[in-house]
């Protein structure tokens, strides 16, 4: 359990003034589940503030001005968790060393005229006659406030939203008083779904809404639940940033628009999500290996970690090889000569999704 970890989770699907999303609330609910899991974030339930509208309420939002959640609710949630940690640390100073704030947001977003990224609230309005994008959380200003006050030792922000430039939409900081000096040196990490001035996406060919996720959040959650574990089982901002980049790149490969997450990390001060020593449990994916028509011989599967034999082999004459593999890089070695060699030298990658590999 991490009793000094707190979180604000924001998920917004319904935007009467822009365009509804399908998966933002699923993403937020899944992140909340990870926060509360004993083998995940390990937060007590009372430490997690959720800012989302019920589906029943959403159906009644006919126009932006009456829609929620709004910036007011987000500010209220942030104030609640900030007050909670301040009270905790006041009683027990050493709790500051274990304190952390998570902020997760999934919804529409922009890169405002003077900031890095702003998550739009449900009452944002893209109507050119109105254009009130300004009802937003400008992430860099909010994180600057938290660093400036230093109430949490660590602040981790994940923003699964677009960062398209909106020329004249200003980003606004939190309505909380500045602190003359920070309580302590806050280590802050921010993961953006995409680079500045570009869009983040959710899949549109969704068959099962319950399983689908935005690309960034899928990579984030897969990473936090084992995908980003190092050989020692540790998951840090370093390993997570690498994993998310690979996952999102794989998920958006071949799509009309690729997406590149942005998560700069200070290698000297990584934030730890899972300590070393916990056995690493990498995700497995269903992989189908297809062979050239003129190859009927045997193949062996080689681990990309150290080029050792996995012990798995197949006879190409039996057709495509369907196998469950842990995420990673692999090599297929042909036991007999292959005319022209296998495509890609027989090397392939497994991450984020089931794979069809044409050798």
Partner 1 sequence: MSSSEARIRLSSPGECTEIVVIDSCFKTVAYGLAEVDVVVPAGVYQLEFRAGPAVERKLVAVGPGTTYEELHIHVGMPSAAPIEHTSTSHEAHQGIAGELSRELANTTGSSGLVVLVRNLRGSESPELDRGAIAGARVADRDGRPLDGSEDWHFHDADGWASWSATLDPGGYVLRTASSEELAHVQLEQSVWLCEGWQTLIFVPNTGDGPTFSGASIHMTRLHEAWTPWEDTQANLALEAALWGLRDGRSVVSTALVELLLHAKHDNPMLGIVGLHALLLHPADRSKRVGRVLEALEELVPGHPDLGALAWLAEEHAAARVGRSPRPTELAPVDWPPMLRSGYAALLRLDALAPGTIVDGSAAEGIAAGLVARGTWTTWRAREPKPVHFDSVVTDRVASYLSSIAEVHGISRADALEDRADPGQISIATDLPRASVTRALATLHDAESFDE
125-164: contacts with partner 1 (CB under 8 A): 134, 141, 144, 147-148, 150
Q: What residues numbered 271-300 form the site for partner 1, per CB under 8 A?
A: none
Q: What residues numbered 301-320 form the site for partner 1, per CB under 8 A?
A: 302-307
Q: Which residues, other chains included, contact 45 with Cβ-Cβ below 8 Å and sequence gap of 6+?
A: 36
# of chain residues touching partner 1 (CB under 8 A): 80
Cβ proximity to partner 1: between 22 and 331 the closer is 331
Distance of closest approach, residue 251 Cβ to partner 1, in angstroms: 13
Tokens representing residue 85 in the block = 């940690």
Which residue in 327, 334, 338, 342 binds partner 1 (CB under 8 A)?
327
How far apart are the C-alpha atoms of 180 and 178, rounded to whole Å? 7
Which residue in 72, 90, 93, 315 binds partner 1 (CB under 8 A)?
72
Q: What residues numbered 29-68 form the site for partner 1, per CB under 8 A?
A: none
Which CA distances in Å does 79 have to 6, 18, 165, 178, 242? 11, 28, 29, 13, 32
Distance of closest approach, residue 196 Cβ to partner 1, in angstroms: 4
Binding string, residues 233-252; x marks residues near partner 1 by CB under 8 A: -----xx--xx-xxx-----
DSSP symbol at 262: B
Q: Residue 100, interface with partner 1 (CB under 8 A)? A: no
Task: Please choose, out of 50-58, 59-67, 83-91, 261-269, the segment that lies near partner 1 by the rule CB under 8 A.
Answer: 261-269
Cβ proximity to partner 1: between 13 and 237 the closer is 237
Distance of closest approach, residue 270 Cβ to partner 1, in angstroms: 11
Whose tokens are 């984020």? That residue is 352
Of the candidates 236, 235, 245, 144, the residue with the CA atom closest to the CA atom of residue 194: 245
Return the SS3 of 327.
coil
Q: Which residues, other chains included, contact 239 with Cβ-Cβ below 8 Å and sequence gap of 6+?
A: 223, 228, 229, 230
Distance of closest approach, residue 97 Cβ to partner 1, in angstroms: 12
Of the candidates 193, 129, 125, 124, the residue with the CA atom closest to the CA atom of residue 157: 193
Whether the Cβ atoms of residue 202 and residue 216 lie closer than 8 Å to each other:
no
Q: Where are the alpha helices (DSSP H) in 41-101?
A: 55-59, 71-91
Bridge partners, 138 (sequence order): 118
Return the SS3 of 160.
strand
Q: Is 42 exposed, middle or buried (0-12, 13-18, 19+ CB in 10 A)?
A: middle
Q: What residues numbered 196-215 form the site for partner 1, per CB under 8 A?
A: 196-197
Distance of closest approach, residue 15 Cβ to partner 1, in angstroms: 20
Neighbouring CB atoms inside 10 A of 207's CB total 7
How far apart are the C-alpha atoms of 105 and 31, rounded to whole Å? 10
Cβ proximity to partner 1: between 55 and 305 the closer is 305
Distance of closest approach, residue 201 Cβ to partner 1, in angstroms: 17
Q: Residue 345, interface with partner 1 (CB under 8 A)? A: yes
Of the candidates 241, 304, 233, the residue with the CA atom closest to the CA atom of residue 267: 241
Task: Please choose, out of 4-12, 22-30, 43-51, 329-337, the segment that lies near partner 1 by the rule CB under 8 A.
Answer: 329-337
Q: Residue 170, interface with partner 1 (CB under 8 A)? A: yes
Distance of closest approach, residue 53 Cβ to partner 1, in angstroms: 18
Q: Residue 90, interface with partner 1 (CB under 8 A)? A: no
């Amino acid at each position: 359990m991490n009793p000094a970890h707190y979180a604000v989770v924001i998920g917004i699907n319904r935007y009467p003034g822009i365009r509804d999303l399908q998966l933002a609330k699923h993403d937020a609910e899944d992140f909340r589940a990870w926060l509360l899991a004993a083998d995940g974030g390990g937060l007590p339930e009372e430490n997690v503030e959720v800012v989302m509208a019920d589906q029943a309420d959403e159906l009644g939002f006919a126009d932006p001005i009456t829609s929620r959640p709004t910036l007011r609710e987000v500010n209220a949630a942030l104030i609640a968790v900030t007050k909670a940690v301040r009270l905790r640390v006041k009683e027990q100073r050493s709790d500051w060393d274990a304190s952390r704030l998570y902020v997760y947001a999934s919804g529409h977003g922009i890169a405002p005229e003077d900031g890095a990224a702003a998550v739009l609230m449900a009452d944002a309005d893209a109507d050119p006659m109105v254009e009130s994008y300004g009802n937003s959380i400008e992430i860099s200003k909010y994180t600057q406030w938290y660093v400036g006050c230093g109430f949490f030792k660590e602040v981790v922000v994940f923003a699964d939203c677009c960062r398209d430039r909106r020329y004249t939409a200003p980003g606004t900081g939190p309505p909380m008083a500045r602190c003359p000096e920070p309580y302590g040196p806050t280590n802050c990490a921010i993961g953006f779904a995409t680079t500045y001035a570009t869009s983040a996406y959710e899949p549109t060919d969704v068959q099962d809404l319950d399983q689908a996720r935005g690309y960034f959040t899928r990579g984030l959650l897969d990473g936090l639940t084992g995908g980003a574990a190092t050989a020692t089982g540790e998951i840090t901002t370093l390993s997570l940033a690498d994993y998310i980049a690979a996952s999102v790149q794989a998920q958006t490969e071949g799509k009309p628009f690729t997406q590149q997450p942005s998560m700069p990390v200070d290698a000297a001060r990584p934030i730890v999500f899972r300590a070393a020593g916990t056995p690493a449990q990498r995700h497995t994916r269903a992989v189908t290996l297809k062979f050239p028509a003129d190859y009927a011989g045997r193949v062996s599967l080689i681990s990309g970690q150290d080029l050792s034999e996995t012990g798995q082999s197949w006879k190409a004459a039996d057709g495509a090889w369907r196998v469950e593999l842990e995420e990673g890089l692999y090599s297929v070695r042909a036991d007999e000569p292959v005319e022209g060699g296998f495509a890609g030298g027989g090397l392939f990658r497994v991450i984020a999704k089931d794979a069809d590999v044409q050798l």
